[in-house]
């Protein structure tokens, strides 16, 4: 993602979560942040014994 693609204020996109690096590419900071803060919570199965495909 590139910063110029989005509004300056996050409040203009309620419910959206996004981040970007200065280069616009995923990196060692943005990739784990996305995985931990977005992907894993959103894909958590209701039954904790169920498998999750990553």
Q: Residue 11 belongs to what domain range?
A: 3-37
Q: How many domains are contained in the chain? A: 1
- Angstrom CA distances, 34 to 17, 22, 30, 50, stand at 9, 16, 6, 22
Indicate if the pLDDT at residue 46 is higher than 80.
yes
Helical segments of 1-54, H only: 30-34, 40-42
Does the residue 52 lie in any domain? no
- The pLDDT confidence band at residue 9, using thresholds 50, 70 and 90, is low
Cα–Cα nearest to 20, from 41, 1, 39, 47: 1
Does the residue 46 lie in any domain? no
Does the residue 51 lie in any domain? no
Residue 54 pLDDT: 72
Prediction pTM value: 0.58
């Amino acid at each position: 993602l590139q910063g110029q693609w989005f509004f300056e204020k996050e409040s203009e996109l309620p419910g959206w979560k996004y981040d970007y690096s200065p280069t616009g590419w995923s990196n060692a900071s943005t990739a784990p942040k996305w995985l931990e803060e977005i992907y894993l919570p959103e894909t958590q199965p209701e039954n904790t014994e169920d498998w999750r495909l990553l």
